[in-house]
Amino acid sequence: MSSPVVYRTIREQIVEQLRNEVLSGEIAEGESLREQKLAARFGVSRGPIRDALLQLTQEGLLSAEPNRGVRVCGGPSLAIQPLVVETRRRIERFALETIFDRITAEDQRSLDEVLARFKTACERGDMKEVVERDLALHRWIVERVGDADLTAMWLQVIVRMRLRYTRHKSLLDSYREHKRIVDAVRKRDRAAALAALEANIV
Amino acid sequence: MSSPVVYRTIREQIVEQLRNEVLSGEIAEGESLREQKLAARFGVSRGPIRDALLQLTQEGLLSAEPNRGVRVCGGPSLAIQPLVVETRRRIERFALETIFDRITAEDQRSLDEVLARFKTACERGDMKEVVERDLALHRWIVERVGDADLTAMWLQVIVRMRLRYTRHKSLLDSYREHKRIVDAVRKRDRAAALAALEANIV
DNA sequence: CGATTGTAAATTGTTGACAATCTACAATCG
DNA sequence: CGATTGTAGATTGTCAACAATTTACAATCG
């Protein structure tokens, strides 16, 4: 889980790069993405660009229309945030309950590592990385269940969630919330872990 | 909503055809789908086939691995069905509550029409069509909200749900459950509509 | 002067070809 | 005889080119 990412295709790399640029706001909402320009930028043919755009469209980050290209979606819908939050809570709660009794020492090390990276991101105050590392911890929990359907549902929910770091005085507050989760898992305190997890998802 | 479907691209057509074949079991679980064979079968180039396969992979029906093609996924995960059912219930309940006070006479006509089609399918006993028409009614409710994020989340849940018609003595029981929803909407009885909707999602 | 038509450029959708990777099987080795 | 290597065919990933559609702007019409 902490192994370096190995890319098998050009598309994977482009998907990840564009996804990060959209999520970080580097590419503005409403902006059109041009296949040919992106192909020139990445130095590849349009094929994998099209694939990447299609994937990100399916993921919910982009919005496509036949013959008219794709646009970056306006951020997640405000109207459904309560439903998104609740859904995410239930998915992650389900995941944590499912894996709780099978957490290994290696799992704990992975969690600690993911948490440490999150701490570093919070200390740096790099919002892009904070978001990435925050979600990485939650993703770790969901993926540990080993059910592709669960992971896929979670992903579709997470891209539609408006993360709110403004509720913290400092980003390290967010780190502490996550630490509470990881510590409770270490102590084998199920109730505390679940409570900490849910408290973090607002 | 009852207007005929107009395809803008070859891909759209292929997506729909393949999706139906997968959902109906015509293409068996675990079976590999070959781009070149499908291209020959549909009489088109591999491009739109690739696009269609990628889309269906993102939808959760297929499973892809770089350089190794795609396979039809084993049906929805059993382990997460309770979560799927609950999630779907909450999404649809949210949708019905949201639209309840803005149902127009035209909306009611659409609902009646969708319901009539479902009744016909149940009478015919054509399971493929039953499923399709069953979901069409629920989809109508969700889409009526007019929030793309909500619809997308619902779609990702619905493909992971194992529909259970075996709980009925007859398919017409399922029709009657749906009729209860539509009738309650007609009577403007919110509580009854919500109860009927949830009773149908098991 | 607003509406309509025509045209060129930009862009997407599709096609066919080549490169890269995988699979299956035969031949060789220890 | 099991393990390894080599080869051919199948298949996917990518590329470049052509066809189809859209966009933007100028010219023409009423």
pLDDT attached to residue B23: 83
Q: Please report how many Cα atoms fall inside a 13 Å half-sphere around the Cα of residue B1, on the Cβ side.
A: 18
Number of domains forming the structure of chain B: 2
What's the CATH number where B48 sits? 1.10.10.10
Judge if B105 and B194 occupy the same domain.
yes
Judge if A147 and A67 occupy the same domain.
no
Judge if B41 and B64 occupy the same domain.
yes
Q: What is the pLDDT of residues B93-109, one digit of tens each?
A: 999 999 999 999 999 99
Give the mean pLDDT of B19-42. 90
Mutation target vs A (from B83, B92, B150, B158; most A CBs, 10 A cutoff): B83
**In angstroms, what separates the C-alpha of A169 from chain B's closest C-alpha?**
30
Judge if A183 and A104 occupy the same domain.
yes
Q: Is residue A4 part of a domain?
A: no
**In angstroms, what separates the C-alpha of A116 from chain B's closest C-alpha?**
30
pLDDT attached to residue A92: 98
Residue B4 binned pLDDT confidence (cut-offs 50, 70, 90): low
Q: Is residue B34 part of a domain?
A: yes
- Give me the residue from B50, B147, B156 closest to A153, CB to CB: B156
Structure tokens at B2: 């009852």
Domain boundary among A53, A72, A91: A72
Q: Is residue B188 part of a domain?
A: yes
Give the mean pLDDT of B4-16. 86
CB contact under 8 A, A63 and B153: no
ipTM of the shown complex: 0.85
pLDDT attached to residue A70: 94
Q: Sort residue A81 into left (φ over 0), alpha (ψ -120 to 50) or beta.
A: alpha
Q: Is residue B2 part of a domain?
A: no
Judge if B189 and B93 occupy the same domain.
yes
Q: Which helix (H) or strand (E) holds B29?
A: none
Domain boundary among B18, B39, B72: B72
Higher pLDDT: B75 or B42? It is: B42
Q: Is residue B5 part of a domain?
A: no
Judge if A67 and A92 occupy the same domain.
no
pLDDT attached to residue A4: 58
Give the mean pLDDT of B4-28. 87
pLDDT attached to residue B51: 96
Which residue segment(s) compose the domain that B25 sits in? 10-72
pLDDT by 10-residue block (mean), chain A, 202 residues = 68 92 87 94 95 94 92 90 97 97 95 96 89 93 94 93 86 94 96 96 92
Judge if B102 and B176 occupy the same domain.
yes
Q: What percent of chain B is predicted at pLDDT more than 90?
A: 76
* Chain A residues touching chain B at CB-CB below 8 Å: 8-9, 12, 50-51, 54-55, 58-60, 63, 66-67, 73, 76-77, 79-80, 83-84, 86-87, 90-91, 94, 98, 147-150, 152-153, 156-157, 160
Q: Is residue A5 part of a domain?
A: no
Judge if B134 and B175 occupy the same domain.
yes
**Beta strands A70-72 and A62-64: pairing type?**
antiparallel
For all residues of chain B together, what is the average pLDDT? Answer: 92
Nearest to A161 by CA among A64, A80, A93, A54: A80
Domain boundary among B53, B72, B91: B72
Q: Is residue B65 part of a domain?
A: yes
Q: How far apart are CA B132 and CA A176, in angstroms?
A: 47
Judge if B116 and B171 occupy the same domain.
yes
pLDDT attached to residue A2: 43
What's the CATH number where B147 sits? 1.20.120.530
Judge if A85 and A170 occupy the same domain.
yes
Judge if B109 and B175 occupy the same domain.
yes
Q: What is the pLDDT of residues B106-164, one digit of tens each?
A: 999 999 999 999 999 999 988 888 988 999 999 999 999 999 899 999 999 999 998 88
Judge if B55 and B103 occupy the same domain.
no
